[in-house]
Chains A and B, each alone.
Chain A
Amino acid sequence: MVTNITNLGRSGLSDWLVQRASAIVLALYTLFIVGYLLFSPGLDYATWSGLFAQTWMRIFSLLAFVSLAAHAWVGLWTVTTDYIKPTGIRVAAQSIIILAIFVFLVWGIQVLWGA
C-alpha cells in the first residue's frame, strides 16, 4: 500500500473509476456540442442562449464541468507524480493545478448560471 494525499479520491481505485466515468461524460458532451454546431447553420445568439437557458442543458453542462475538473485533477496529478521528483516543486505544482481547477470550475458555473 502506497499512501497518497493529494490525489482526488485518496484511492487509486476511485480515481480510476472517476477518470473513466468522467471521460464518458466528456465524450458525450463533446459529441453533442460538435453535433449541435454542425447541424445548426446560421446559429444566432438567441438560439445559442436559448439552448443554455434550458434546465437539462444546464445540468448537462454542469455535469461536464465537474467531470472536466475531476478528470483534469486525476490526470495532472498522475503527470506530476511521474515527472516531478523534488517534493517541494511537486506539491507546489499540485497546489497550483488544484487551485486552477477550482477557479475554472467556479468561473464556469458563474458563466453557466449567471445573469
Chain B
Amino acid sequence: MSMLQVSLYRYNPETDSAPYMEEFQVDTQGRDIMVLDVLHMVKEQDNGLAFRRSCREGVCGSDGMNMNGKNGLACITPLSEVVKKGKLTLRPLPGLPVIRDLVVDMGLFYKQYERIQPYLQNDNPAPAIERLQSPEDRDKLDGLYECILCACCSTSCPSFWWNPDKFVGPAGLLQAYRFLADSRDEATRERLAELEDPFSVFRCRGIMNCVAVCPKGLNPTRAIGKIREMLLANAT
C-alpha cells in the first residue's frame, strides 16, 4: 500500500452553495501513474465526481486542469512530476466559470478563438488540385499548428483572467499568428487591423506563464512578439 492524499475541488451548483476541497486517499501501489489514472481511482470511490477526458494521451486537450498549482493535461502528467510531499491538489482551470467539480465553461475561451477567424482566407479561385506552398513557407507554421486548444495557457495568464472578454489570450494569439504567417492566407491586413487595439494583443505583459505550462511545448509569447512586429511593420 502506498497511499496518495488527493485534495479535490468540488462544486455541484445544484446542491452546494459554495465550492469546497474534499480529501481522498488513493492507493497508487507505488507506481508512477498519470494524474488522470488517479482521477479514475477517485471516481471509483465517488462516482459523482465530474471531469472531462477523452483520448487519455494528450491529443484531444479535454483534461486540462490545475495540478498542485500548475496547469497541464492530467493524462500526460505523471505523479512524479507534480506530487509534493505525498499530496496532490487538483482544481479546475483558473479564471473560467466552474460548471461542476473540474469541469469549466470554456465559452469565453472559444469566443476569443472565434474572434481571430481561425480559418484560411483566400478569395482567389481555388486551383484544380490544391494551394501549393514552398517547404520554407510551410516551415513557418511549425510550432503554431500543433495547438490542441486545451486552454492551459490562456487560463494561466493573469491578463486573460482580468479581461477574458477583450484580451484574445495566448491560445487565440498563437492561432492568429498561425494564419498571419500562412503564405496562402490573404487577409493579413484585415487580421492585423482587428488586433491593434490596446487589449487584443497588447494586454500581453510577456510574463510567459503560457510558455511554462503548454503541454505541447509551444511558445505563444514568441508568436505574440511576431504579431507585434507585423503590426509595427504595417503601421510605421
> Which residues of A does B touch, CB under 8 Å?
1-4, 7, 11-17, 77-78, 81-83
Contact B232 A82 (CB under 8 A): no
Q: List 18 A-B contacts (CB under 8 A).
A: A1-B193, A1-B196, A1-B197, A4-B197, A7-B198, A11-B197, A12-B197, A12-B198, A12-B200, A12-B201, A13-B196, A13-B202, A13-B232, A13-B235, A78-B198, A81-B163, A82-B159, A82-B163
Which one of B159, B196, B197, B228 has the greatest number of beta carbons of chain A within 10 Å?
B197
Total residues of chain B contacting the partner, CB 8 A: 19
B231 close to A (CB within 8 Å): yes
Chain B residue numbers with a CB within 8 Å of A17 are 232
Nearest B-chain residue to A19, judged by Cβ: B202
B166 close to A (CB within 8 Å): yes
Chain A residue numbers with a CB within 8 Å of B163 are 81-82
Chain A residue numbers with a CB within 8 Å of B231 are 13
Contact B162 A1 (CB under 8 A): no
Nearest B-chain residue to A83, judged by Cβ: B162
Query: In whole angstroms, what is the CA distance A1 to B193 when docked?
Result: 8
> Which residues of B does A touch, CB under 8 Å?
159, 162-163, 166, 193-203, 228, 231-232, 235
Could you tell me the distance in whole angstroms from the C-beta of B154 to the nearest C-beta in chain A?
Answer: 16
Query: In whole angstroms, what is the CA distance A11 to B195 when docked?
Result: 10
Query: In whole angstroms, what is the CA distance A3 to B197 when docked?
Result: 7
Chain B residue numbers with a CB within 8 Å of A11 are 196-198
Query: In whole angstroms, what is the CA distance A1 to B203 when docked?
Result: 13
Nearest A-chain residue to B196, judged by Cβ: A13
Chain A residue numbers with a CB within 8 Å of B199 are 2, 4, 12, 81
Could you tell me the distance in whole angstroms from the C-beta of B64 to the nearest C-beta in chain A?
Answer: 24
Given contacts A4-B197, A81-B163, A83-B162, 10 further A-B contacts (CB under 8 A): A2-B166, A2-B197, A4-B199, A7-B198, A12-B197, A12-B199, A13-B235, A16-B202, A16-B228, A78-B203
Query: In whole angstroms, what is the CA distance A22 to B193 when docked?
Result: 25
Chain A residue numbers with a CB within 8 Å of B202 are 12-13, 15-16
Query: In whole angstroms, what is the CA distance A17 to B228 when docked?
Result: 10
Could you tell me the distance in whole angstroms from the C-beta of B200 to the nearest C-beta in chain A?
Answer: 6
Would you list the 6 A-B pairs with minimal beta carbon distance, nearest first?
A12-B202, A12-B198, A2-B199, A2-B197, A82-B162, A13-B196
Chain B residue numbers with a CB within 8 Å of A14 are 235
Query: In whole angstroms, what is the CA distance A70 to B13 when docked?
Result: 47
Chain A residue numbers with a CB within 8 Å of B232 are 13, 17
Nearest B-chain residue to A16, judged by Cβ: B202
Query: In whole angstroms, what is the CA distance A7 to B202 when docked?
Result: 12
Query: In whole angstroms, what is the CA distance A101 to B201 when docked?
Result: 26
Contact B228 A1 (CB under 8 A): no
Query: In whole angstroms, what is the CA distance A78 to B235 when docked?
Result: 22
Could you tell me the distance in whole angstroms from the C-beta of B168 to the nearest C-beta in chain A?
Answer: 10
Chain A residue numbers with a CB within 8 Å of B195 are 1
Which one of B163, B194, B198 has the greatest number of beta carbons of chain A within 10 Å?
B198
